[in-house]
Chain A
């Protein structure tokens, strides 16, 4: 079935012959909408940002790593659609002119769309909202002044897209085909409430559907190279039948295989719309996170429980990346420098995998076998990850050359339980220190059962070299990684004693 969405307020449908065509290329080449710029073609500069609205709200996303099938049922607004129908400037546009927020202007359309999305949501954490937009000319100060100036202005009416109009605009033929196949024509996914508000209570207990359901079947019939399953059951069935298939969630990793690796993965299953996998359920005993929950879904839900994890997520990519990137993708990708795994491992997370009707749960750290190798069977996918409810002792330390939107050189996550001055339990995991996210077992052992003292910490630090023999690369040398990993334990010790050790909290 074609992909139907609103483009600057008007419904459009695109065919499905080329499922990895990016929104950016389509806008610029097919639609002649050249306001949206390409600055990097890999999600890092924000020049291609567009405003995307669906039932879960509005956010800015990077068009260069958005595949067209991901847009079904959504509303897209490019810079050309940020001004009103009569050419009225949006408040952020006016403010950018008045505050001299553009010089060469090439980054400007991306800033305008990102600012318009933030403005619509009333966000005033400008540094975070704009962290994914690079500007080489202005030094950002005038842009932030513009964002501040526009904040109080009302949201123009035209910015309030109603994605339901995209759904109702679906070509009749396809709707009929889907209906014929006995499936739902307008999946309710896009109207669902925010994920942390309502999670499916019967998660993991529902009987799986053995057969591929209609929506997925209609997809498959029309485009044998890709599907857009609507439920975990549909995905399970399809993946079992196509174990060589590639799952695309947020495409913030897969996108680069295509735009930079020039690969043509096939067949594809676009899974970000699977609503019964998109939840963050805070229960009595555990927090359960569905695979297609985005980082941006997870952040507010986890903030009250583990503020340091929320702060780590704040520094994960930038708003455009977090709005697309999924928790499942971050884990399944198996990268040694993914940021969530060390934090989740330190929290004692369990990974829930599913292959067809079969489910299994394993400690998250066991999933990562070796560099590029995970404990995942053919046709098996990540359904969720859960962490036990616990007293918050988690500290997450991400070290990178730049604070925002940078990949970790190393990321150390610590959860050390101290009772009556003695360490009763220590879970410490690192990213960037080995071929996989990995626990520092020797360090944990050196601490456990000891007094929580500088001496014990020093001793444990020297055990770091037993746990890790990191590599040197463009992010840091092996020596720096090892030295800093140990120093992060020192930082944890100081923080637990109340010593100021947070650079970002220092005020001028």
Chain B
């Protein structure tokens, strides 16, 4: 039985021997050319003159392209067609590609672009949230609102009130493998593209568009990425399009990879947010009414900002039942890199908002923050509750008419008809979805015990009393994360499975492998369906020529969607074999069993290879596609109503930290995590996602600080200045366990998605730091993120002296 076992990553042996191939490792023909973008050094302005003669004459340069040299107006946007590959007339951020050098080596191309002489008439840039608000520079016509009840009235009527603001920094993905692509021109103008992208179909679409070809003339292949984290959902487009266009122009293979510094100044990052909040609450800390105003700094183009900002709104409640609530969201347009998808996709920022409020209420009431959180939790689902029968899907909506439309991109926005109201009496989210699978009450109870939260709370208090300079802090925070693409039609997936006459199985599906173990999980599903050992399953590169119209591997959906599609494909073949075998034994197909590398019928059995040979000889098709679409989803993103999520993944973390009140330096001492993966397909892979996601989230909230100069230059454009967690930054002690529940919804083997949710467990780090700062004085420390030493020191001062 392969499902549910802790089997190593499918490429683990290749990884450790250095033989796993990434895009830049793929051997290419010797006449392959290399590309490099020339970048804008100005954040906002008009291009007055661009003299590229010196670039053209640089050693090794074969051609140089500016916007006007492109065959079609190549665009790289995943949403609004607002990102020309090369700047046309105006520049919108420092680091925007202006022209493309094509040379016979990567180094020659990099050296050449520095010889350009570009004159840009600089205009005042809109850089900050305040700049954008002052200029009313935004996407969409105005703010979006989700409303439930009457927040204003409830706040006014509440016994206590508070209001405040938290600033939350962005985050650079820092995938270890930078962006890369390789385009190989084919006969008849066709193009094959190898790319490090989470969204091969998007690449296919953008490349076809740029070349003026139908999608069928472009084939895109992705074997693996050296990390993605959302940073390769749309940000890989530019390199693939550039390579394809250059390959078209030169007739030669073209490859491109960003030098790390280029990667950091060109590509988008996690959105930084400001969240203003106003809450009314009672003596128990129960929130009576609450208002959030979320300001997202989206950068210069729309990219995926609308659904990111939507998801921040969708997680403004996190684990808490809010009866009277208003969430207002501003999507601000600035002259900075276009912020993009990043693990959690806005959810983390939304959650930080309400966790801050919980922390501040507990501080104001002088009671334990866990008590306040518990008082506000949704109610746990009753144990035996079965999932209600799936509602019919309404399929009667119109497809967008725009021919450039990225139908498979999350950047596409659609408005849908009236979703059905939630069942009456159900506890609902601020967007009117019934919460039917909440388990955090029980999970929290379990973690409070296993982590000895209460005992350690006392120990921390005592320790702090005896220590003047160093202070400890402890916090427990929950995560409830909605699983599904909020653009409903993306919740579909396809698979292609071949069984060869020797019994080996070729497995393909639309998901991409970026380290998350998707291929391993999906191969476990296939092995399980056929009842054969894993070794029979050959995992192959994602290929738009095999499975078309795929959604991005994103929104944690990879194994939910592709696992189901693979299951469907395998079952089709399995059923055909079963029918054949059943016939031969006058048995019913349903009584044929697959297991132990054999096919069993009655008291007899066939070896797998024998059964396959029989099927082949009897002219049974051994190839099948599989398809899956997630049931029950209905969502109106404008009204903020419906069921955008199939279910919620949940988790809870308790973290202890220590700070130095003289310098603000801080570190994580211990973390205890209990996380819900449903019935895990592969506990080792899931543990890896949890431990890794937590550390990545902790980096976001502590050491990872993005700094732009007042001219809009990203000052932290390399790992020398942008600090992701290093080895010793992981918690000194880390106890991670899986919650052994089954998904009440009918997912693949009742597992739950695990890609994004664990990142948000790290909010416990920020809250523990806040707790440590609060130990320094009577006032609320109002700690912003990332909690660098400087911000911690400022929060210590606020705790002592109050806000000034």
Residue of A nearest to B107 (CB): A25
| Residue numbers in A under 8 Å from B716 (CB-CB) | 474
Q: Known: A134-B719, A144-B727. Contact between A102 and B9, CB under 8 A?
A: yes
**In contact, A501 and B662 (Cβ under 8 angstroms):** yes
B621 on interface, CB distance cutoff 8 Å: no
Q: Known: A260-B261, A403-B728. Contact between A103 and B9, CB under 8 A?
A: yes
**In contact, B721 and A475 (Cβ under 8 angstroms):** yes
**In contact, A488 and B662 (Cβ under 8 angstroms):** yes
B225 to chain A, nearest CB (A): 6
**In contact, A404 and B18 (Cβ under 8 angstroms):** no
| Whole-angstrom CA separation of A318 from B733 in the bound complex | 23
| Residue numbers in B under 8 Å from A102 (CB-CB) | 9, 11-12, 15-16, 515
| Residue numbers in A under 8 Å from B503 (CB-CB) | none
Q: Known: A34-B21, A476-B790. Contact between A407 and B9, CB under 8 A?
A: no
Q: Which of A41, A44, A97, A140 contacts B16 (CB 8 A)?
A: A97
| Whole-angstrom CA separation of A45 from B720 in the bound complex | 9
**In contact, A140 and B8 (Cβ under 8 angstroms):** no
A188 on interface, CB distance cutoff 8 Å: no
- Interface bracket on B: 35 or more
| Residue numbers in B under 8 Å from A207 (CB-CB) | none
In the complex, which residues 303-341 of chain A have their Cβ closer than 8 Å to any Cβ of chain B? 318
| Residue numbers in A under 8 Å from B514 (CB-CB) | 104
Interface string of A126-156 (1 = CB under 8 A from B): 1110110111111111111000000000000
Q: Which of B17, B227, B695, B788 contacts A80 (CB 8 A)?
A: B17
| Whole-angstrom CA separation of A25 from B110 in the bound complex | 14
B789 on interface, CB distance cutoff 8 Å: yes
Q: Which of B24, B467, B721 contacts A474 (CB 8 A)?
A: B721
Residue of A nearest to B472 (CB): A506
A51 on interface, CB distance cutoff 8 Å: no
B17 to chain A, nearest CB (A): 6
**In contact, A262 and B111 (Cβ under 8 angstroms):** yes
B669 on interface, CB distance cutoff 8 Å: yes
Give the dominant DSSP class at A's interface. Answer: loop
| Residue numbers in B under 8 Å from A44 (CB-CB) | 718-720
**In contact, A401 and B789 (Cβ under 8 angstroms):** yes
Q: Which of A40, A105, A135 contacts B14 (CB 8 A)?
A: A105
**In contact, B9 and A35 (Cβ under 8 angstroms):** no
| Residue numbers in B under 8 Å from A499 (CB-CB) | 468-469
| Residue numbers in A under 8 Å from B670 (CB-CB) | 508
Interface string of A358-376 (1 = CB under 8 A from B): 0000000000000000000
| Whole-angstrom CA separation of A127 from B731 in the bound complex | 12
**In contact, B517 and A34 (Cβ under 8 angstroms):** no
Q: Which of A37, A47, A109, A127 contacts B727 (CB 8 A)?
A: A127
**In contact, A89 and B16 (Cβ under 8 angstroms):** yes
B585 on interface, CB distance cutoff 8 Å: no
**In contact, B15 and A401 (Cβ under 8 angstroms):** no
Q: Which of B19, B107, B662, B723 contacts A402 (CB 8 A)?
A: B723
In the complex, which residues 657-696 of chain B have their Cβ closer than 8 Å to any Cβ of chain A? 658-660, 662-667, 669-670, 684-685, 687-688, 691-696
**In contact, A133 and B15 (Cβ under 8 angstroms):** no
**In contact, B660 and A503 (Cβ under 8 angstroms):** yes
**In contact, A105 and B20 (Cβ under 8 angstroms):** yes
Q: Known: A403-B728, A491-B662. Contact between A508 and B669, CB under 8 A?
A: yes
Q: Known: A40-B718, A106-B22. Contact between A501 and B692, CB under 8 A?
A: no
A507 on interface, CB distance cutoff 8 Å: yes
**In contact, A399 and B663 (Cβ under 8 angstroms):** yes
Binds B, one of A241-249, A279-287, A291-299, A477-485: A477-485
**In contact, B27 and A138 (Cβ under 8 angstroms):** no
**In contact, A136 and B790 (Cβ under 8 angstroms):** no
**In contact, A126 and B727 (Cβ under 8 angstroms):** yes
B483 to chain A, nearest CB (A): 20
**In contact, B727 and A112 (Cβ under 8 angstroms):** no
Interface string of A36-49 (1 = CB under 8 A from B): 11111110110100
**In contact, B15 and A403 (Cβ under 8 angstroms):** no
| Residue numbers in A under 8 Å from B153 (CB-CB) | none
B139 on interface, CB distance cutoff 8 Å: no
In the complex, which residues 272-299 of chain B have their Cβ closer than 8 Å to any Cβ of chain A? none
Residue of B nearest to A105 (CB): B15
B730 on interface, CB distance cutoff 8 Å: yes
B464 to chain A, nearest CB (A): 12
Q: Which of B176, B723, B725, B789 contacts A106 (CB 8 A)?
A: B176
Q: Known: A139-B694, A260-B261. Contact between A401 and B703, CB under 8 A?
A: yes
| Whole-angstrom CA separation of A135 from B13 in the bound complex | 18
**In contact, A39 and B9 (Cβ under 8 angstroms):** no
Interface-centre pick from B9, B16, B22, B468 (highest chain A CB count, 10 A): B16
Interface string of A95-127 (1 = CB under 8 A from B): 011101111111111001000000000000011
| Whole-angstrom CA separation of A406 from B16 in the bound complex | 27
| Whole-angstrom CA separation of A404 from B667 in the bound complex | 12
**In contact, A142 and B667 (Cβ under 8 angstroms):** no
| Whole-angstrom CA separation of A82 from B667 in the bound complex | 34
Interface string of B174-189 (1 = CB under 8 A from A): 1111100000000000
A236 on interface, CB distance cutoff 8 Å: no
| Residue numbers in B under 8 Å from A34 (CB-CB) | 18, 21, 24-25
| Whole-angstrom CA separation of A105 from B694 in the bound complex | 18
Q: Known: A36-B18, A44-B720, A140-B695. Contact between A100 and B111, CB under 8 A?
A: no
| Residue numbers in B under 8 Å from A397 (CB-CB) | 663
**In contact, A404 and B17 (Cβ under 8 angstroms):** no
B229 on interface, CB distance cutoff 8 Å: yes
**In contact, B721 and A402 (Cβ under 8 angstroms):** no
| Residue numbers in B under 8 Å from A39 (CB-CB) | 176-178, 260, 719
Q: Known: A102-B12, A136-B227. Contact between A131 and B728, CB under 8 A?
A: yes
B539 on interface, CB distance cutoff 8 Å: no
B726 on interface, CB distance cutoff 8 Å: yes
| Whole-angstrom CA separation of A325 from B105 in the bound complex | 29
Q: Which of B15, B111, B667, B696 contacts A504 (CB 8 A)?
A: B667
**In contact, B727 and A97 (Cβ under 8 angstroms):** no
B233 on interface, CB distance cutoff 8 Å: no
Q: Known: A138-B691, A480-B793. Contact between A45 and B719, CB under 8 A?
A: yes
B533 on interface, CB distance cutoff 8 Å: no
**In contact, A473 and B727 (Cβ under 8 angstroms):** no
Q: Known: A262-B110, A480-B790. Contact between A503 and B658, CB under 8 A?
A: yes
| Residue numbers in B under 8 Å from A131 (CB-CB) | 726-728
| Whole-angstrom CA separation of A492 from B606 in the bound complex | 78
B406 on interface, CB distance cutoff 8 Å: no
| Whole-angstrom CA separation of A407 from B776 in the bound complex | 29
Residue of A nearest to B226 (CB): A106
| Whole-angstrom CA separation of A4 from B665 in the bound complex | 46
| Residue numbers in A under 8 Å from B720 (CB-CB) | 42, 44, 407
| Whole-angstrom CA separation of A40 from B707 in the bound complex | 19
In the complex, which residues 436-492 of chain A have their Cβ closer than 8 Å to any Cβ of chain B? 473-477, 480, 483-484, 487-488, 490-491
| Whole-angstrom CA separation of A285 from B15 in the bound complex | 52
- A25-B107, A45-B176, A491-B663 given. 19 additional CB < 8 A pairs? A41-B260, A42-B720, A80-B19, A102-B11, A104-B176, A104-B225, A104-B227, A105-B14, A105-B515, A108-B16, A402-B729, A403-B667, A404-B727, A409-B789, A473-B715, A474-B716, A477-B790, A480-B793, A484-B793
Top 4 nearest A-B pairs (CB, nearest first) are: A35-B18, A106-B226, A104-B515, A105-B15
Listed by A's residue number, 11 A-B pairs whose Cβ atoms lie within 8 Å are: A89-B13, A106-B22, A134-B726, A137-B227, A260-B718, A406-B723, A474-B716, A499-B468, A506-B470, A506-B658, A507-B732
Chain B residues in contact with chain A, CB under 8 A? 6, 8-9, 11-22, 24-25, 27, 105, 107, 110-111, 114, 173-178, 224-229, 259-261, 467-470, 472, 514-517, 656, 658-660, 662-667, 669-670, 684-685, 687-688, 691-696, 703, 705, 707, 715-716, 718-721, 723-730, 732-734, 788-790, 793
